[in-house]
Amino acid sequence: MPTVTWISPKGPTYAREVEVGDSLMDAAVFGGISEVEGACGGCLSCATCHVYIDSAFADRFGPPEADELSMLEMVSAERRPESRLSCQLRMRQDLDGLVLHLPESQG
Ligand code: FES
């Protein structure tokens, strides 16, 4: 199973195996990564699943859809070019080794 690593600016690093097809928000929440809240359950209404895609993987994802772009306006932490809402990102086998950086806070 492919692996994803989430890196918190507060220090902790979390590596989890993620099922292909799972959302990266679900993988974090069910993987016990408390820095990802996912308050709306993935229906694009909370922006508490904000992550920054590591630059090494920036070209591995398509651009955000319009709805995600709208919600990215609502993130509480700094919005950066690599900001994404992880409920909109699905795991793929070719993303094995993916690194996601966590924001300072989600709310
Ligand atoms: Fe609410 Fe992603 S979980 S917008």
Amino acid 105: pLDDT = 87
Q: Which fold has domain 3-101?
A: Ubiquitin-like (UB roll) (3.10.20)
**CB-based burial, 47-72: b 16+ in 10 Å, e otherwise:** bbbbbbbbeeeeeebeebeeebeebb
15-74 pLDDT, tens digit per residue, is 999 999 999 999 999 999 999 999 999 999 999 999 999 999 999 999 999 999 999 999
Ligand 1 geometric centre to CA of 80 (Å) = 17
For the chain, the structural domain boundaries read 3-101
Residue 13 has pLDDT above 80, yes or no: yes
CA 55 to chain centre: 14
Give the mutation target among 24, 35, 45 for probing the ligand 1 site: most ligand atoms within 8 A of CB: 45
Q: Which residue ranges have their beta carbon within 6 Å of ligand 1? A: 25, 38-40, 42, 44-49, 71, 85, 87
**Closest atom, ligand 1, to C-alpha of 86:** 2
Cα–Cα distance measured from residue 95 to residue 75, given in angstroms and rounded to the nearest whole number: 24
Cα–Cα distance measured from residue 6 to residue 80, given in angstroms and rounded to the nearest whole number: 17
Cα–Cα distance measured from residue 36 to residue 60, given in angstroms and rounded to the nearest whole number: 21
CB 3 within 8 A of CB 16: yes
Q: Hey, is 11 helix, strand or coil?
A: coil
pTM metric for this prediction: 0.96
73-85 pLDDT, tens digit per residue, is 999 999 999 999 9
Residue 14 has pLDDT above 90, yes or no: yes
CB atoms within 10 A of CB 103: 20
Pairing of strands 50-53, 98-101: antiparallel
